[in-house]
Amino acid sequence: MMITVRQLCRLSQKKSLCCTVRLYDPGNVVRHHHGNKGRNQLVLNANGTNFHYFKKAACRQYNKDVGTKADLVKAIGYRCEWSHNYTAHDAILYALGVGVSTTQSDYLKFLFEKDENFCVLPSYGFIPAQKEVLLLTLEGRLPGLANLDPAKVLHGEQYMEVFRPMPRAATLRNECVVVDVIDKRSGALFLFDVHTYNDKDTLITYNQFSIFIVGFGGFGGKKTSNHEKPTIKPPTRPADYSVSQATSVDQAALYRLSGDYNPLHFNPTVAARVGFSKPILHGLCTLAYGIRHVLQQYANNDVAKFKAVKVRFSKPVYPGQTIKTNMWRDGNRVHFQCEVTETKDVVISGAYVDFHHID
């Protein structure tokens, strides 16, 4: 059914709802039509299929923000580079931050730099790649994100492929590009592709960060993207293997020292602004627990066998809660799902780890 802007105005006038109708294309006001002097406003998308009524106060805020939202698509193609230096000390601090403990049988290979088998956890590959992604979003450096409240920045999904095991120490170069911005209505989803190279320009890792900005949707952007790495549901059969591990109440405080200083994970005031009763654990910390559990069970902690991982962050974990990882093997792919034991909430879903080869 086709309906014109003028017809919508007449409809809204009968209901005493409309003050102004504005027709938007993806990011641009293309026509105005004035109705009666009612208390509300009707905003219509350019395709003529979606429209929303706003209270008068909400209209003022919508009209104030829409120019900013329209700029979001200008971020596509944005590029930047940065370097990241780390030592064995940094790798050990990270391992402690993601739950490696001296109570585990082979802790020396991750916690003692002089051990002959010392190596870096594959999930450390997130750390060099995340630095500028965090700054671009948390500090509102991208078009359309000026004056952004950091509490609105959430980590939606993550993909990483490891081409060479992480060195025990290195200076790495990162190349980042915003490959897409997706309109999720309740927010905007930014896709960042980050390629990480060593000092010989050898590719070490490729990461895709899916960063969700709460309240920045409705800008008329695309709803899906071919750039987005898909999640995969686990098999319907009972899990082949499960392992549980408690986090520390100080887990987020320790993990943040590896470089993720988002106040959402440490400042109670910031956490409260987005509806959390207290600071939540970093999604990449929760993910690292799951990866360690899968790596231990199916590869005996052989980091050279790790190839790739993809996950969706479904719900938060609070420091001190217990993470249970359920696993299903399918050839060289292991599907996994993490839940909080205390609440039964699934916190990581659609997840899998790919190995080069496992017995």
Catalytically annotated residue among 283, 290, 291, 335: 283
Query: What gap in Å lies between CA 355 and CA 227, rounded to an integer?
Result: 22
Query: What gap in Å lies between CA 238 and CA 235, rounded to an integer?
Result: 8
Instruction: Centre a 10 Å sphere on the Cβ of residue 330 and count the other Cβ atoms it contains.
Output: 12
Instruction: Centre a 10 Å sphere on the Cβ of residue 237 and count the other Cβ atoms it contains.
Output: 7
Query: What gap in Å lies between CA 27 and CA 71, rounded to an integer?
Result: 7
For residue 150, how far is the Cα from the chain centroid? 14
Catalytically annotated residue among 127, 204, 280, 323: 280
- Beta-strand pair 20-25/41-45: parallel
Residues sharing a CB contact under 8 Å with residue 3, sequence separation 6 or more, in sequence order: 48
283 is a catalytic site residue: yes
Residues sharing a CB contact under 8 Å with residue 180, sequence separation 6 or more, in sequence order: 76, 190, 191, 222, 225, 227, 228
Q: Running DSSP on this structure, what letter comes out for residue 304?
A: G
Nearest to 309 by CA among 124, 134, 137: 124
Catalytically annotated residue among 265, 282, 293, 335: 265
265 is a catalytic site residue: yes
At which residue do the structure tokens 């600071």 appear? Answer: 279
Catalytically annotated residue among 90, 183, 193, 260: 260
Both tokens of 286, joined, read: 């929760």
302 is a catalytic site residue: no
Report which secondary-structure segment, H or E, holds 299: helix 283-299
CB 54 within 8 A of CB 43: yes
Cα-based distances in Å from 115 to 108, 112, 220, 347: 6, 6, 55, 34
280 is a catalytic site residue: yes
CB 242 within 8 A of CB 325: yes
**Nearest-10 Cα torsion for 326, 305, 131, 226:** -70
Both tokens of 253, joined, read: 């405080």
Instruction: List active site positions.
Output: 260, 265, 280, 283
